[in-house]
Copies of this chain bind each other. A is one copy, B any other.
Amino acid sequence: MRIKELFINNFRNYKSLHIKPKENLNIFIGDNAQGKTNILEAICFLLQGRSFRTSHEKEIINFDSEQSKLKTELKAYNQNYSIDISLSRTKPKIIKINNSTTSKPELATNFGTIVFTPDQLSIIKGSPKERRRFLDLELASFYPQYKYYFVNYQKVLLQRNNLLKELKEKKQADTFDLLELWDNQLISYGAKILMARMEILKKLIPMAQQIHNQITSDKEKLTIRYRSSLNLNSNFREELIYDQFREVILKNRQQDYLKGQTTVGPHRDDLVFLINNKNITDFGSQGQQRTIILTLKFAIINLWSCELNDVPVLLLDDVFFELDSKRQKYIFDLLNKDVQVFITSTGMANTEKNLINIKKNAIFNVRSGLVCEEEL
């Protein structure tokens, strides 16, 4: 995917903006609070139909305006597309692909962007929930059915937990047959979720390890493990996962009853990241944590390229120039190949500017909602 033109109207601090990004790196430099991140937010909005910063979309409309308009001309899957989005204070948002009205899910299925903001360090530092969320969100791009299984699993899980609480209140540990109905559904959706997670990780992990080796000059060995509440066999097949899930569900019924909740299943699993065999959540530095997130994002881009035959646009908000110069150099090399990237930063050292390829890269200076391309 390549964004060729971007039009922003009454979006955050922008009254009106038109830019033509370059093929590879597009770097937005400016003081704090000038509107750098707003440009990335607009791109994400155009390609995913939503913001990565807020769910209150009315916040996004410029204070003095009633509505906001976004437009992009882009190339994806070797074809040209135009995407238009209108946001209004009073009416629902309108999304159009090539002038035909469409829905947010359809937009996100067709296009896509990978975002990395400082908040996403919570994938490493946060609770297992954050890591499952990362996995579930990224999976949706590769398995359109995943979201359906996921939503249904959550519904069944809630029903099962409610029943467990009810049984506990009435002290009916002997009437587990009532659980049978929910168990069957839970196991069925759960096995599909686990199967998809296993399949994606089987591809994603080796890619991530290879990229991480490059960025760290082979000095830091990355290991990623899926920590399951089931004894998942490496020889996974859907039927095996199904049987395995059934076995632990039955084994844990008494415990589930006592706790009033379902204690095993994909909703309890986690991802573990190790560098040189040490857990990165406990022992990693800020820079190592940033590097792993970036590695994961690159691996997903690789996966897109293998599975979907195109690559999404990469948005790096205020995270790139905080890496040391060696890591930056490797990443520039990786990026210069085939991805369109939008980076924000408060400044760029001369050593960093030397890495810029004039033909394919651009530096934009951002000041109070005005954007000027720098002469390179």
Contacts and interface: CB of A to CB of B under 8 A. Distances in A.
B32 A291 contact: yes
A347 interface: yes
Given A121-B118, A282-B56, A349-B349, A323 B32 contact: yes
Instruction: Name which of A32, A284, A322 has the most chain B CB atoms within 10 A of its CB.
Output: A32
A125 interface: yes
A261 interface: no
A256 interface: no
A220 interface: yes
Given A118-B118, A125-B119, A346-B323, A318 B286 contact: yes
Instruction: Name which of A125, A282, A346 has the most chain B CB atoms within 10 A of its CB.
Output: A346
- Chain A, interface size category, equals 35 or more
A267 interface: no
A284 B327 CA distance: 29
A288 B288 CA distance: 25
Contact of A286 (B290, B317, B325, B327): B317
Interface string A1-44: 00000000000000000000000000000111110110000000
Copies of the protein in its oligomer:
2
A31 to B, nearest CB: 4
Nearest to A38: B285
A31 B220 CA distance: 13
A37 B285 contact: yes
A282 B125 contact: no
B346 A32 contact: no
A326 interface: yes
Contacts of A325: 31, 346-347
A206 interface: no
Interface in A278-293: 282-288, 290-291
A54 interface: yes
Nearest to A286: B318
Contacts of A36: 285
Contacts of A285: 32-34, 36-37
A177 interface: no
Interface string A297-340: 00000000000000000000110001111110000000000000
B324 A346 contact: yes
Nearest to A125: B119
A59 interface: yes
Contacts of A349: 347, 349
A118 B287 CA distance: 11
B286 A59 contact: no
Contacts of A34: 285
A286 B286 CA distance: 17
Nearest to A325: B347
Contacts of A284: 33
A37 B284 CA distance: 10
Instruction: Name which of A285, A317, A325, A326 has the most chain B CB atoms within 10 A of its CB.
Output: A285
Which 4 residue pairs are nearest across A and B when measured between Cβ atoms? Answer: A32-B287, A31-B324, A324-B346, A33-B285
23 contacts: A30-B324, A31-B324, A31-B325, A31-B326, A32-B285, A32-B290, A32-B327, A33-B220, A33-B284, A33-B285, A33-B287, A33-B288, A36-B285, A37-B285, A56-B282, A59-B282, A118-B121, A119-B125, A286-B317, A287-B346, A322-B322, A324-B346, A325-B347
